[in-house]
Amino acid sequence: MKKLYNVLGQLFGFLTILLYAFFFLDAIVEFGIDSGIMGILATIKLYAILVVCGLAGLEFTAGKKLLALVYFLILAFVIIFSFFPVVADQITGLIG
């Protein structure tokens, strides 16, 4: 599994850097791409870092059962709060 996480992390890391370079180049040159497409790419850019960090953590915890369990719980917490901010608001409303 560690090798799979390594390859996926490298691939997504490379694609994330290409996406960031594209945005910087577009700011300089202005390719004239439709704003809807740029909005989708901006959303992908937002979550690409989360994917790369998640894969790096999975690679680190591969083979370490207890550490992997703790990491999966933390990763699930971050993903749920990132994709579902309404859930985060409800939970903080219950606590506070």
User: What's the pLDDT score for residue 63?
Assistant: 87
DSSP state, residue 62: T
Question: Quick check: 18 pLDDT over 80?
Answer: yes
Q: In this structure, are residues 55 and 8 in contact, taking their beta carbons and an 8 Å threshold?
A: yes
Alpha carbon of 76 to those of 6, 45, 83, 87: distances in Å? 20, 20, 11, 13
Question: Quick check: 94 pLDDT over 90?
Answer: no
Can you tell me the mean pLDDT for 44-51? 91
What does the pLDDT look like over 25-44, one tens digit per residue?
Answer: 999 998 888 999 999 999 99
User: What's the pLDDT score for residue 12?
Assistant: 95
Sketch the domain layout of the chain as residue ranges: 2-95
Give the range among 26-30, 70-74, 89-93 with minimum mean pLDDT: 89-93
Predicted model pTM: 0.77
